[in-house]
Amino acid sequence: MVKFLLWCILFVLCWPLALGALVIYPILWVLLLPLRIVGIAVGSVLALVWAVVILPARVARAIV
């Protein structure tokens, strides 16, 4: 909602810039999508490695 209100203010102040932002934003979102997917994959791999590293301590704590 805040982004929309800021865009409305920009539209009132400088409508060519606001329309340009409206056109460029989806293109930029599509271009950055692969980086988001890579970020999710890297985060998942790091979470898996962390779980494997912590597993012996969790098992030892459960036994004691």
* One-character DSSP codes across 12-51: HH-HHHHHHHHHHHHHHHHHHHHHHHHHHHHHHHHHHHHH
Residue 53: band (very low, low, confident or very high) from pLDDT cuts 50, 70, 90: very high
Q: How many domains does the chain have?
A: 1
- Provide the whole-model pTM: 0.60
Task: Identify the pLDDT of residue 64.
Answer: 79
Range of the domain at 10: 2-63
pLDDT for 33 beyond 90: yes
What percentage of the chain exceeds 70 in pLDDT?
100
Task: Identify the pLDDT of residue 39.
Answer: 96
Task: Identify the pLDDT of residue 41.
Answer: 97
What mean pLDDT comes out for the span 1-28?
92
